[in-house]
């Protein structure tokens, strides 16, 4: 966990595992340079696929590594999540990962299969002493507005903690009060995702600021960091909020 979190108990995780589902993404067509930029900008850890971890080990090495171990689906197929475990904790250890990450979709069409493999993965991680981060989204990717209601996210977060995961990645509920309520009833660390590319840098940084102010331990963002025209500066700005309690305006000034 010390390879994922700094001594202040917070973390900036840059998610780079999108290619396994989406293929090439604008801003991340050539991974090596982008990885170098976000690591230089202060990323504490990255989320990566097996292929990225194997082929860009040198670039990823300065930061912690969370290996994506579920999937086996792509955007070419159905949008309904039908993924499964495609790697295990032992494979992550052999690869040199500091932890693993998998989806957790309470309430989704196949929640029984999804939550069962998450539980099996947790058991594997316990045997290897490997941290497990669950990407918790109520009803999956296509959940709808009611699935993103603060109380629904709060429920799903607690379910993830009860399953035994070490760290939860989830969506910010939109305001400090409701997210604080969710975080306080979840007894494992919580970081917020970025999701689709936001409309402005200020929106990204306000999300980060609100999440941390509510007791979140940081972020696990991808497109809103590596998809920025200056990914190193954007990583630095996010890290300033997470690790030094910078204001949104102070962080925005770092992007000038």
Taking only the tens place, the pLDDT of each residue in 212-252 is 999 999 999 999 999 999 999 999 999 999 999 999 999 99
Q: Does the residue 1 lie in any domain?
A: no
41 has a pLDDT exceeding 80:
yes
pLDDT-above-70 percentage for the chain: 99
Q: Judge if pTM exceeds 0.85.
A: yes
Weakest mean pLDDT among 44-48, 82-86, 184-188, 209-213: 82-86
Domain of residue 59 covers 11-253
Confidence of residue 46 (pLDDT cuts 50, 70, 90): very high
Q: Does the residue 4 lie in any domain?
A: no
pLDDT in tens, 128-179: 999 999 999 998 877 666 888 999 999 999 999 999 999 999 999 999 999 9
Instruction: Report whether 246 contacts 213 (CB < 8 A).
Output: no
Q: How many CB atoms lie within 10 A of CB 8?
A: 12
The CATH number assigned to the domain holding 103 equals 3.20.20.70
Q: How far is CA 59 from CA 40, 48, 159, in A?
A: 10, 12, 35
pLDDT at residue 75, as a whole number: 83
Q: Does the residue 109 lie in any domain?
A: yes
What is the dihedral sign for C-alpha 52, 60, 209, 26?
negative
Q: Does the residue 131 lie in any domain?
A: yes
Instruction: Give the length of the chain.
Output: 256
Mean pLDDT of the residues in the chain: 95
Instruction: Report whether 175 contacts 216 (CB < 8 A).
Output: no
Q: Is 200 exposed, middle or buried (0-12, 13-18, 19+ CB in 10 A)?
A: exposed
What count of Cα atoms within 13 Å lies in the side-chain half-sphere of residue 84?
Answer: 2
> Strands (DSSP E) along the chain, which ranges?
11-15, 45-48, 64-68, 70-71, 84-85, 99-104, 132-136, 167-170, 190-193, 218-221
Contacts of 113 (CB under 8 A, 6+ apart): 84
Confidence of residue 83 (pLDDT cuts 50, 70, 90): confident
User: If you ran DSSP here, which 8-state letter would residue 198 be given?
Assistant: P
Closest-CA residue to 103 (of 20, 28, 224, 44) = 20
Distance CA 64, CA 33 (A): 17
Helices 176-184 & 150-163, crossing angle to 10 degrees?
A: 20
Q: Does the residue 65 lie in any domain?
A: yes
Closest-CA residue to 114 (of 76, 163, 65, 67) = 163
Q: Does the residue 5 lie in any domain?
A: no
Structural domain count of the chain: 1
**Euclidean distance between the first and final Cα of the chain, in Å?**
33
Q: 220 forms bridges with which residues in the sheet? A: 13, 193
Contacts of 4 (CB under 8 A, 6+ apart): 11, 13, 44, 45, 64, 66, 98, 99, 131, 167
Q: Does the residue 124 lie in any domain?
A: yes
Distance CA 170, CA 193 (A): 6
Q: Does the residue 125 lie in any domain?
A: yes
pLDDT-above-90 percentage for the chain: 86
């Amino acid at each position: 966990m010390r390879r994922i979190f700094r001594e202040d108990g917070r973390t900036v995780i840059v998610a780079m595992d999108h290619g396994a589902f989406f293929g090439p993404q604008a801003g991340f067509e050539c991974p090596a340079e982008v990885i170098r930029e976000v690591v230089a900008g202060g990323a504490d850890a990255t989320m990566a696929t097996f292929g990225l971890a194997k082929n860009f080990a040198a670039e990823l090495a300065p930061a912690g590594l969370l290996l994506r171990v579920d999937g086996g689906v792509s955007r070419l197929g159905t949008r309904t999540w039908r993924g499964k475990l495609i790697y295990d904790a032992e494979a992550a250890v052999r690869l040199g990962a500091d932890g693993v990450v998998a989806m957790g979709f309470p309430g989704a069409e196949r929640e029984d299969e999804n939550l069962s493999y998450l539980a099996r993965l947790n058991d594997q991680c316990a045997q290897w002493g490997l941290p497990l981060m669950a990407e918790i989204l109520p009803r999956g990717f296509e959940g709808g507005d009611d699935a993103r209601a603060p109380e629904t996210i709060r429920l799903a977060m607690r379910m993830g903690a009860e399953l035994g995961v070490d760290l939860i990645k989830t969506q910010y509920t939109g305001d400090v009060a409701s997210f604080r309520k969710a975080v306080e009833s979840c007894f494992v660390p919580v970081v917020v995702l970025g999701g689709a590319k936001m409309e402005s840098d200020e929106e990204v940084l306000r999300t980060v600021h609100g999440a941390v102010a509510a007791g979140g331990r940081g972020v696990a963002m991808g497109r809103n960091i590596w998809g920025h025209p200056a990914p190193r500066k954007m990583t630095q700005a996010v890290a300033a909020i997470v690790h030094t309690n910078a204001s949104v305006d102070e962080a925005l000034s770092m992007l000038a």
